[in-house]
Structure formats: structure tokens, C-alpha cells
Amino acid sequence: MNVETQSGRKNNSPRTYIKITTLCENRTCISRGVTGEHGFSALVEKNGEKLLLDTGQGLSLIPNAKAFGISIQLHRVLILMVIMLVLL
């Protein structure tokens, strides 16, 4: 899934585009060669910078990225999102 948005502009300032591509989540898209898995991973692109948010379980990350034509080696920053649930 891709989402593109444009930030608000003032006067003649250049447009800023943000593109978010979901690389891993529970659903699949077999027609595009994308597999699903428990977990989440998204690629956020803005002004040529790329940020990888989490990796899901990791099994589908690289195959799904290839299905979208994305090279994971291009990313300088990886943010792992960890949520801990404590049951009392």
C-alpha cells in the first residue's frame, strides 16, 4: 500500500511530498507478489531521504520490498518500534 501526501505551502515555497509504503503487515496481495506476516514494516520517503520503520518478523521484508521495486540497501536509518505489554 502506498500513501502520498503533500504538505501545506506558504507563498512560493517548494512542495514537499511524503510517500509511505507498507512493506509488511497481516494482509497479502498475491497479484503483486506480496506476502503477509504478523508484524509491521513501512518505508517513509521525503525529499530523497528514506526511513525504514521496523522490519515486521523479517521473513517477508526483503521479498516484499523487491516486489515493490525497493532496494533495502539504500536505507541509512532503521527505527525498530518495540511495544512491551506488561500483564500485572
pTM attached to this predicted model: 0.68
**What is the band of 1 on the pLDDT scale with cuts at 50, 70, 90?**
low
- CA distances, 7 to each of 1, 18, 32, 42 (Å): 20, 8, 29, 19
At 59-73, the pLDDT tens digits run 888 899 999 898 877
Show the CA angle centred on residue 83, arms to residues 65 and 2, nearest 5°: 30
At 12-61, the pLDDT tens digits run 667 778 999 999 888 777 777 888 888 888 988 888 788 888 888 888 88
